Amino acid sequence: MGHEPLDLRSGRIIAVDTATLRHAAASFDDIVDECGRLRASIADAAADLYGSASAVTVQDLIRRAERIGARAADLAGGLRETAIIYEIIELDAQRAAAVSAGDARAAADLTGRLDRLAGTAPDQAALAEMLVARAPDPHGALVGQLILGTLPLSGLGALPGIVAPLILGAGIGTLTAVKDAGLGVVGHDSRLRSRVPPPRLTLLAATPGSAPRSVAEIARRIPSGGAGSIRVERYAMADGGKRFALYLTGTRSIGGPGAFDMESNAQLYLRRGSESYEAARIALQRAGARPGDAVLVSGHSQGAMVGSRLALEGEFDVPALVGFGNPIQADLGAQTLQVDLRHSDDPVAALAAGGHATTIGAPGSVVAERTVDPLPSLGDLSATVHHLDAYIASAEMLDASADPRMDAVRERIGELADAASVDVFVFDAESAGAVRDDLAQRHGPAG
């Protein structure tokens, strides 16, 4: 595994707050005005010092004030031009989304706004077009892994020579189909299209615990491989209130008996109800959560997708979602802090098709991405870069980051540290179909 640095951003294409740019430009305008007033004051004083030894020093101060004012004016202009560039890019992204959604009226309105803005700033429009053209393909690293990772198979005989292009074609074809279908990018108004019967939950453990202190600690609490698929922490807060934290496993099997199987994976991705989603709801309820209670949600792979759906459906208040290798990226609204860890060579994370083009989530929300293993090998076909251990390593890198957006992440996690006590519940979720099969084996078919 490599040690590629984390790339932190607020969105895939747009990671710039244009309002902040314009505010900064206005601040530099104030500096320009202040330099002008200062120059005038110094010039008045220079008239009284004409011919004296101090006159040279005063003239030097005047020139310095002029240089500072000119530099501030240049910076203000540059910031405003940059804001225009990114506004053009954002409008173009919104127009593409409207066209994809079949909203002709919105697309026409955005086209008009884009044309008007580009008409007043043709140079900035040309730069915006160049930036979009140079934007990295969100699947670039993975496609490279698919191509280079299958090359060794081509020299191992006839069968691998046939298998290699099949793997390559299937991989690239799947990514293209997903991107075209738009399933990986989920809007804030999306809701599940159907529901399924609830699975059977078994409480495996109930113990005292403590609050997590970092993103890496959250990742380490996600069930992975051992007993249990859902962990719930109940916090009795010092003010008498209660809060919860939910940790959800990734996919455990191709088919049953657990609720976190491939069938649930496919159902959720297709925006339908799943047993894994119902299991998460029931686990929260059995731990004492009621509709509207605050739940910090985290999950790996399918678990992150379940967490996204819990936040979208609105039964619980989700102040933060911490996702590791989430196959979708959902716009959870301005009240939910979204911490999204992705690996650019992870085939599961690639199902999100690059995610939203613009910034989503509460202020401070962040997408943290890196290429874990840039060197291709046969191991790429087992997707080790998607394993939770790889994401724990990325979480440790994120915790060590000095990026100012991490202040909001640390603050949101730190809210749980004020709890007077913490109770931990670990559940196992068994598929309803597996339960029926077990009962039939024990008691025979119903007569």
Q: Are 340 and 326 in contact (CB under 8 A)?
A: yes
Buried b (16+ CB within 10 A) or exposed e, 380-419: beebbbbbbebbbbbbebbbebeeebbebbeebbebbeeb
pLDDT given for residue 165 in this prediction: 45
Q: What is the mean pLDDT of the chain?
A: 82
Q: Are 403 and 367 in contact (CB under 8 A)?
A: no
**Helix, strand, or coil (residue 146):** helix
Buried b (16+ CB within 10 A) or exposed e, 141-154: bbbbbbeebbeebe
154's CB contacts (< 8 A; 6+ apart) are 160, 161, 164
Q: Are 263 and 218 in contact (CB under 8 A)?
A: no
pLDDT given for residue 125 in this prediction: 86
pLDDT given for residue 146 in this prediction: 45
Instruction: Return the higher-pLDDT residue of 379 and 403.
Output: 403
Q: Ranked by mean pLDDT, which of 91-95, 157-161, 411-415 comes out on top? A: 411-415
Q: What is the pLDDT of residues 366-402, one digit of tens each?
A: 999 999 877 655 555 557 899 999 999 999 999 999 9
Instruction: Return the higher-pLDDT residue of 57 and 88.
Output: 88
Bridge partners, 200 (sequence order): 430
Mean pLDDT value across residues 250-278: 92
Lowest average pLDDT, out of 6-15, 185-194, 221-230, goes to: 6-15
Query: 261: which DSSP letter?
Result: B
Query: 184: which DSSP letter?
Result: S
pLDDT given for residue 161 in this prediction: 44
pLDDT given for residue 376 in this prediction: 56
- C-beta atoms surrounding 229 within 10 Å: 29
The backbone region for 295, taken as left when phi is positive above 0, alpha when psi lies in -120 to 50, beta otherwise, is: beta
Q: Are 114 and 95 in contact (CB under 8 A)?
A: yes
Nearest Cα to 353, choosing from 139, 168, 132? 139
Q: Report the half-sphere exposure of 342 (CA within 13 A, side-chain side).
A: 32
Q: Are 407 and 238 in contact (CB under 8 A)?
A: no
Confidence (pTM): 0.68
- C-beta atoms surrounding 126 within 10 Å: 13
Beta strands in 315-355 (DSSP E): 320-324, 329-330, 337-343
> In the predicted model, is pLDDT for residue 72 greater than 60?
yes
Q: Can you tell me the distance from the alpha carbon of 329 to that of 272, in angstroms, rounded to the nearest whole number?
A: 16
Mean pLDDT value across residues 178-182: 58
pLDDT given for residue 11 in this prediction: 59
115's CB contacts (< 8 A; 6+ apart) are none
pLDDT given for residue 406 in this prediction: 93
Dihedral of CA 216/218/219/220: which sign? positive
Nearest Cα to 323, choosing from 414, 398, 417? 398
pLDDT given for residue 170 in this prediction: 47
Q: Are 305 and 331 in contact (CB under 8 A)?
A: no
Q: Can you tell me the distance from the alpha carbon of 425 to that of 206, in angstroms, rounded to the nearest whole number?
A: 5
Beta strands 230-237 and 242-248 are antiparallel
What are 100's two structure tokens? 């994809």
> In Å, what is the CA distance from 109 to each residue of 85, 113, 203, 229?
19, 6, 54, 47
Q: What's the angle, vertex CA 162, arms to CA 159 and CA 167, rounded to 5?
A: 115
Instruction: Return the higher-pLDDT residue of 270 and 169.
Output: 270
pLDDT given for residue 57 in this prediction: 73
